[in-house]
């Protein structure tokens, strides 16, 4: 038997200790890339892109709002808070802000309720669930230009599908994009069809997380389908509903692209569908007043923050 083997088998000798007795010490410890300074190298590329394309534009735009800056002139002058004083007296700012807030209220309600109904219908176990899930969520995957192109054909006054359907019921043609009273409603209808799939997916995920044993216990107690929905499903979806409402309000406040493309940048008939972000765009890139446009955008950003904080506070109070 070899010396190593005898050392390992000898009782009370501590074979592994004998083997390591000749070593000078423990092996050097390798530095992990996932801890300490090593993790910084994984985060650094993202931080560079984040700082270059988000943080720096935010700081630069805020500084620009204190200057009289033009897109067609290299000269600029410091005006302090004059841009912010001017926007307070600008009727177009208040008008477009009112249109944006009205769109937010009128679009958030159906986007929450329709998504909830769609999720409940799919969750009931009807046949072909894969098809309904795909059909409900597919419009959300389309780019805004494609969505607007589809609805421009649907809104056509002479041969559009919507007016054709109304004609079956003896209703005359409707100017979906030419009537000042319907311009904003047309934008809302387009937006609901386009974005309701995301809220539907959130509700469906929450419904699937509810334990089946809860419904089984309620059925044993004699609760019917409507009672289970009202007493179990809807209360357990309060947190999800709060999340959906917050996300939807923030998304609706950023209305711009679908309204701009639908009406060709005109804001609709009479400007009744022009959101405040379109006014920011027109001020900065059409009238070349970058400083004033920056001031409007940061004032609107402050409005969004206030609304988000109020929503968060109200939601936390309901939960408590």
Q: Where are the domains of the chain?
A: 83-319
pLDDT at 1: 44
Distance CA 207, CA 244 (A): 14
Quick one: which of 46, 17, 93, 9 has its CA closest to 292? 93
79's CB contacts (< 8 A; 6+ apart) are 66, 67, 68, 291
Residues paired with 289 in a beta bridge: 70
Q: How far apart are the first and last CA of the chain?
A: 75
One-character DSSP codes across 256-272: -HHHHHHTTTS-SGGGT
Quick one: which of 268, 269, 136, 121 has its CA closest to 192? 136
pLDDT in tens, the chain (320 residues): 444 444 444 444 444 444 444 445 555 555 555 555 677 888 899 999 999 999 999 999 999 999 998 888 778 889 989 999 999 999 999 999 999 999 999 999 999 999 999 999 888 766 778 888 899 999 999 999 999 999 999 999 888 899 999 989 888 888 999 999 999 999 999 999 999 999 999 999 999 998 888 888 888 888 888 888 888 899 999 989 999 999 999 999 999 999 999 999 999 999 999 999 999 999 999 999 999 999 999 999 999 999 989 888 877 776 66
Architecture per CATH, domain 83-319, reads as Orthogonal Bundle (1.10)
Kindly state the tokens that stand for 135. 């059909």
Kindly state the tokens that stand for 84. 């912010």
For 8, 10, 11, 107, 149, the CA distances from 5, given in Å and listed in that order, are 5, 9, 12, 80, 82
Distance CA 315, CA 239 (A): 8
One-character DSSP codes across 283-295: IIIIS-BHHHHHH
């Amino acid at each position: 038997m070899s010396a190593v083997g005898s050392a390992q088998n000898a009782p009370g000798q501590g074979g592994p200790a004998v083997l390591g007795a000749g070593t000078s010490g423990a092996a050097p410890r390798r530095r992990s890339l996932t801890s300490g300074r090593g993790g910084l190298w994984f985060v650094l590329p993202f931080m560079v892109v984040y700082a270059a394309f988000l943080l720096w534009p935010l700081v630069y735009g805020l500084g620009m709002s204190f200057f009289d800056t033009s897109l067609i002139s290299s000269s600029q002058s410091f005006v302090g808070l004059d841009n912010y004083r001017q926007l307070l007296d600008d009727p177009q700012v208040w008008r477009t802000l009112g249109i944006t807030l009205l769109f937010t209220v009128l679009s958030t309600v159906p986007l929450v309720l329709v998504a909830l109904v769609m999720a409940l219908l799919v969750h009931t176990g009807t046949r072909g669930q894969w098809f309904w899930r795909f059909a409900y969520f597919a419009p959300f995957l389309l780019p805004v230009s494609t969505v607007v192109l589809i609805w421009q054909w649907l809104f056509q006054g002479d041969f559009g599908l919507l007016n054709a359907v109304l004609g079956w019921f003896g209703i005359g043609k409707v100017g979906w994009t030419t009537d000042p009273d319907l311009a904003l409603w047309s934008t809302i209808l387009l937006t609901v069809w386009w974005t309701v799939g995301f809220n539907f997916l959130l509700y469906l995920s929450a419904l699937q997380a509810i334990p089946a044993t809860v419904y089984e216990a309620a059925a044993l107690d004699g609760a019917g389908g409507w009672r289970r929905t009202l007493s179990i499903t809807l209360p357990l979806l309060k947190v999800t509903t709060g999340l959906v409402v917050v996300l939807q309000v923030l998304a609706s406040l950023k209305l711009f692209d679908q309204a701009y493309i639908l009406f060709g940048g005109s804001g609709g008939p009479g400007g009744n569908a022009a959101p405040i972000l379109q006014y920011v765009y027109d001020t900065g890139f059409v009238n070349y007043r970058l400083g004033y446009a920056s001031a409007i955008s940061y004032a609107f950003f402050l409005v969004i923050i206030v609304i988000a904080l109020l929503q968060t506070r109200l939601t936390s109070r309901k939960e408590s």
